[in-house]
Amino acid sequence: MAFTSCACEVVYARKLAGELGFTQLGPTKIYEDNEGAIVLAKKMHLRNRSKHIGLRFCFVQHLIAAGIIEPVHVASGNQHADLGTKALADQSFNYHVPYLYGEVLPKS
């Protein structure tokens, strides 16, 4: 669900950037720590437990095929978005802060 919401935000941001003269040349990477969501987005395997999310992932599949987004797996411990969405221990919080401020760039 969050993956699809992020994909929608990417579409909006890319359109806005294009209107401002910043054309996007390659797909936008979406870092996802849920391997199941990535597999569903790349290859639709609908089962009884995943039928309710089929329509959302059809949209995401279209964006992947069109070269608009590229899902990239990242380990849960390296998911920098957790800084704004979860209560983290001090050590984990201090690990993510430099990424938030742009002092360290994520590896491509």
- Do 35 and 84 lie in one domain? The reply is no
- Do 21 and 36 lie in one domain? The reply is yes
Give the pLDDT mean for 49-70. Answer: 78
0.85 surpassed by pTM: no
- Do 28 and 60 lie in one domain? The reply is yes
- Do 85 and 69 lie in one domain? The reply is no
Q: How far apart are CA 98 and CA 108, in angstroms?
A: 17
Q: Which long-range contacts (CB under 8 A, 24 or more apart) does 38-47 make?
A: 38/3, 38/71, 38/73, 41/3, 41/71, 42/71
Burial class (CB in 10 A: 0-12, 13-18, 19+), 5: exposed
- The predicted pLDDT at position 99 comes to 82
- Do 25 and 69 lie in one domain? The reply is yes
The residue range of the domain holding 106 is 77-108
Whether pLDDT at 72 is above 70: yes
- Do 6 and 47 lie in one domain? The reply is yes
- Do 87 and 70 lie in one domain? The reply is no
